[in-house]
Amino acid sequence: MYGFSKFYSKFYKYPLPILLLSLWLVAVFLLSDRPAHSQHPVIFTNKEKYQSTLLAKRIMPSTLTENVRKTVLENGLTVLTKEVHTAPVVTVQVWYKVGSRNEEPGVNGIAHQLEHMMFKGTKNRPIQFGRLFSALGSDSNAFTSYDQTAYYGTVERNKLKALLVLEADRMRNSQIEPEQLASEKRVVISELQGYENSPEYRLNRAVMQAVFPNHAYGLPVGGTKADVEKFEVEQVEKYYRNFYSPDNAVLVIVGDFQTANALETIKEVFGKLPKKVRSEELGVRSEELEVSSKNTFTPSTSLSTPIVLREPGAGRLLQVVYLLPDANQPDVPALDVMDYILTEGRNSRLYQALVESGLASELTASVTSLRESGWYELLVTAGAKQDLKKIDSMLSSAIANVAEKGVTSEEVERAKTQLTADVILSNRDITSQAIRLGTDETTVGDYRYTDRYLAAVRLVKPTDVVAVINKYLTKEARTVGFFEPTQKRITEVADKPDSAQTTENFSPGVPVLFSEVIKYLPSADLATDAIAQVLPQEFKLTNGLRILLLPDRSTPTVTLSGYIQAGTEFDPENKAGLAAFVADNLLNGTKSKDVLTIAKVLGERGVSLDFQTYREGVHIEGDSLADDLPILLEILADVVKNSTFPSKELELHRQQTLTDLQQELDEPSEVARRVFVQSIYPKKHPLHTFPTEESLQQIQRQDVIDFKAKHYRPDTTVLALVGDFDLDKVRSLIKNKLGDWEVSGQAPTLKYPPVAMPQKIVSVNPVLPDKTQAVTYMGYTGINRYDPRFHAALVLNQILGGDTLSSRLGAEVRDRQGLSYGIYSSFQAGKNVGTFLIEMQTSPEDSSKAIASTRQILQQIHQQGVTALEVETAKRTLISNYNVSLANPEELTDRILMNEVYGLNKVELHSFTDKIQKVTLAQVNQAARELLHPDQIVVVTAGPSVLAEKSIR
Nearest of 338, 326, 299, 300 to residue 468 by alpha carbon? 338
State the Cα–Cα distance between residues 953 and 943, nearest whole angstrom.
Answer: 14
State the Cα–Cα distance between residues 186 and 842, nearest whole angstrom.
Answer: 9
Mean pLDDT of 452-466: 95
Give the pLDDT score at 52.
Answer: 33
State the Cα–Cα distance between residues 441 and 78, nearest whole angstrom.
Answer: 9
Question: Among residues of the chain, what percentage have pLDDT more than 90?
Answer: 76
Check pLDDT > 50 for residue 42: no
Check pLDDT > 80 for residue 35: no
Mean pLDDT of 157-176: 96
Please enumerate in sequence order all residues whose Cβ is within 8 A of that of 48, keeping only pairs 6 or more positions apart, or say none.
10, 11, 12, 13, 18, 422, 426
Mean pLDDT of 412-418: 93
State the Cα–Cα distance between residues 47 and 340, nearest whole angstrom.
Answer: 10
Give the pLDDT score at 555.
Answer: 86
CB-neighbour burial class of residue 683 (10 A; exposed 0-12, middle 13-18, buried 19+): exposed
Exposure letters 46-75 (e unless 16+ CB within 10 A, then b): bbbbbbbbbeeeebeeebbbeebeeeebeb
CB-neighbour burial class of residue 694 (10 A; exposed 0-12, middle 13-18, buried 19+): exposed
Mean pLDDT of 209-230: 96
Give the pLDDT score at 46.
Answer: 36
Mean pLDDT of 95-121: 96
Check pLDDT > 70 for residue 162: yes
State the Cα–Cα distance between residues 902 and 357, nearest whole angstrom.
Answer: 43
Residue 304 phi/psi, 5-degree rounding, is -70, -25
Check pLDDT > 50 for residue 61: no
Give the pLDDT score at 62.
Answer: 46
State the Cα–Cα distance between residues 295 and 271, nearest whole angstrom.
Answer: 32
Nearest of 630, 629, 586 to residue 611 by alpha carbon? 586
Check pLDDT > 70 for residue 287: no
Check pLDDT > 90 for residue 793: yes
State the Cα–Cα distance between residues 96 and 299, nearest whole angstrom.
Answer: 27
Please name every residue paired with 379 in a beta bridge, in sequence order, or none if there are none: 319, 364
Residue 929, CA distances (Å) to 24, 370, 522, 834, 864 in order = 28, 53, 34, 18, 9
Give the pLDDT score at 618.
Answer: 98
What confidence tens digit (pLDDT) does each residue in 832-853 have?
Answer: 999 999 999 999 889 999 999 9
pLDDT band at 300 (very low <50, low <70, confident <90, very high): low
Give the pLDDT score at 324.
Answer: 96
Check pLDDT > 60 for residue 564: yes
CB-neighbour burial class of residue 299 (10 A; exposed 0-12, middle 13-18, buried 19+): middle
Nearest of 212, 463, 225, 238 to residue 323 by alpha carbon? 212
Q: Which of 516-530, 731-745, 775-789, 902-916 has the lowest mean pLDDT?
A: 516-530
Check pLDDT > 90 for residue 174: yes
State the Cα–Cα distance between residues 269 and 252, nearest whole angstrom.
Answer: 14
Check pLDDT > 80 for residue 673: yes
Give the pLDDT score at 492.
Answer: 54
Give the pLDDT score at 14.
Answer: 42
Orientation of helix 332-343 relative to helix 409-425, angle to 10°: 100
**Contact yes or no for 119/280 (Cβ under 8 A):** no
Q: CA 83: distance to chain centroid?
A: 26
| ∠ CA 328-333-338, rounded to 5° | 135
Give the pLDDT score at 627.
Answer: 92
**Contact yes or no for 663/315 (Cβ under 8 A):** yes
For 452-524, strand residue ranges (E) read 478-486, 491-493
- Between these two residues, 84 and 276, which has the higher pLDDT value? 84
pTM score, two decimals?
Answer: 0.89
**Contact yes or no for 3/150 (Cβ under 8 A):** no
What confidence tens digit (pLDDT) does each residue in 625-650 have?
Answer: 999 999 999 999 999 999 999 999 99
| ∠ CA 589-592-596, rounded to 5° | 45
- Tally Cβ neighbours within 10 Å of residue 568: 28
Check pLDDT > 60 for residue 403: yes
